[in-house]
Structure 1
Amino acid sequence: MKYSVVLPAKNEAGAIKETIHKIRQLDFIYEIIVVNDGSTDDTQKIAEQAGAIVISHPYSKGNGAAIKTGARNALGDVIIFMDADGQHDPDDISRLIAKIEEGYDLVVGARQKGSQASVGRGVANSLYNNLATYMSDHKVEDLTSGFRAVRAEKFKEFIYLLPNGFSYPTTSTMAFFRAGYSVAYIPIHAAKRIGKSHIHPIKDSVRFFLIIFKIATLYSPLKMFLPFAVALFILATAWYGYTLYEYSRFTNMSALLYTGSIMIFLMGLISEQITALMYKKDE
């Protein structure tokens, strides 16, 4: 099999050269593609001098957009995605590929304790993992890791689902689970990045809630909506029992709670059908 490495890069002049040199030392890599996402520094020039194939966006479109550009242009049977900022160790690529050769379709480098950039992001990632585990009924060790190897043909099935922002790992992982493909994890240690992070606390907080909803809508919306519907139904019944006992009547609050419960359940049911259509493949 041919192995392609895709590096999305935006203003990574400080780390890109060393990253490419380490990858080139792996003699089984067929090609290294750097997707220059509108960098304003010397990322493109340094990557070309280091021996990588460079594809440049005329302006910054986002990490996910860079991933999609790299995947569309990669010629390998297996694509390895990793960060260009020095966080991921190229020596771990062989471990990812070993799992692929065992028959897995997607292998993710799961960051171990101490690899998170901050306590807040560590807590957020833990919540993502637990929610994704609940939704998919599969143990998810690192939902948001950008270091992963994937069979190109199967990854390209879901390119249209991938967002242009930073949540492409979440989307692709849940899509693979939904399609019934095999997913595995290997433990890695992510080093401190070289250069300035492109993550912002406020945007990160908004992204946190968007990813929570994305996990639900990409896999099984009904599994997310049903607990809320049941909780409201129980609350409505309890309130109805109380008002019936105390005042011998059915109140507007009980009616509102029952209606809310039914509406949430129906929303989940409709979303479930829409999700199923998203994954329906043309014959």
Structure 2
Amino acid sequence: MQPMQISSQAMPEAVRDYPFTVSVIIPAYNEAHGIAGVIERVRAVLPAAEIIVVDDCSRDETAAVAQAAGARVIRHPVNRGNGAAVKTGIRRARGEVVLLMDADGQMDPRYIPDLLGGIADGYDMVVGARTRDTQGDSVFRRWGNRALDALGSYLVETEVRDLTSGYRAMRRDVIMEFINLLPNRYSYPTTSTLALLKAGYHVGYVPVMGQRRQGGQSGQKLLRNGIRFGLIILRIVSLFAPLRVYFPVAISMQVLALLSFLISFFITDPLRFHIPNSAVGLFVGSIIIFMFGLNAEQVAALRFQRPPRIAEEE
């Protein structure tokens, strides 16, 4: 399913009526300094929405401040991660549509009407895709996100944008089909986008400009981000399209095996039919990798097989 870009007509002061109920989910950890301001700005755009703050066992007064600001607070007894907080919010939400955003003030609520407008137009998920002039992004992070987008596009065979953006709206019944796939840490945006695309759902994009973090200190570190990026790549390859990675690797090993044999036959041991150990190892390894990828592809296909009832309704 080709994802579409929804034109952004951000209306910071507009209050719209939607044909569905909305729950805004804000995962938070040690965000007492700015969470009240985020809630107030969201409430100004969505006065009737349910606002849920999932406090992931903060060490400060995040829960008390959020509750005083009018949010419904759900508190984890232990710190389980940003993704776990999002999953808790989705499970406990009462709205037909869930809108996810961070508690650090980097996501401008003025784009909420555009995200929800895309859902009203028929999309199952609408992602706030950050523009190049987004504030606060390092060069490393920007290029890493582009590489991840390219890999995601290759795996699901359609264009994807800003896979790491946590600013998104989605139909709750749709995301509940894949909630067990979402990790407890930081790659839930990537997983949710690719899962819906792989299953044939409609995903749209709204260009948004991110803002600098409002107070506090970011926990993002260069080494940690690099390790996390590698783990995300391994995860999405295994979950969504293993054969699109394992098959090229297997073919490359076959070519190397043939090259090793030709070098032995024409150069190192001319005109003597002898298969070197390197060629045997590469050939056998390529068969193993291909069969492993084929098996993983079948498992991945079962994950995204939609229930017969849903297919009949469409």
TM-score (norm 1): 0.97
Aligned partners of 1:79 and 1:152 also within 8 Å: yes
5 Å matches for 1:24-35?
A: 24-27=43-46, 29-35=48-54
How far apart are the structure 2 equivalents of 1:54 and 1:64? 17
How far apart are the structure 2 equivalents of 1:273 and 1:252? 32
Alignment correspondent of 1:66: 85
The match for 2:192 among 145, 149, 172 is 172
How far apart are the structure 2 equivalents of 1:178 and 1:217? 13
How far apart are the structure 2 equivalents of 1:146 and 1:15? 18
Aligned partner of residue 25 in structure 1, secondary structure: helix
Higher mean C-alpha deviation, range 141-150 or range 248-257: 248-257
| Cα RMSD (Å) | 1.3
5 Å matches for 1:198-209?
A: 198-209=219-230
Long gaps (5+) in structure 1: none
The match for 1:21 among 30, 40, 43 is 40
Tell me if 1:253 matches 2:273.
no
Alignment correspondent of 2:304: 279
Long gaps (5+) in structure 2: 1-19, 309-314
Aligned partner of residue 190 in structure 1, secondary structure: coil
Say if 1:139 and 1:25 are closer, same or farther in 2 by CA, change over 3 A: same
1:35-67 CA distance string (max 9 Å, x none): 001111111111011100000011211000000
Instruction: State the 1:88 CA deviation.
Output: 0.2
Alignment correspondent of 1:237: 258
Between Structure 1 and Structure 2, how many residues are aligned?
283
The match for 1:210 among 215, 218, 231 is 231
Aligned partners of 1:4 and 1:29 also within 8 Å: no
5 Å matches for 1:47-62?
A: 47-62=66-81
How far apart are the structure 2 equivalents of 1:35 and 1:142? 24
Instruction: State the 1:210 CA deviation.
Output: 0.9
Tell me if 1:227 matches 2:252.
no
Alignment correspondent of 1:270: 295
Aligned partner of residue 187 in structure 1, secondary structure: strand
The match for 1:120 among 137, 140, 150 is 140
Alignment correspondent of 1:85: 104
1:76-120 CA distance string (max 9 Å, x none): 111000001000011101000111111110110001113252111
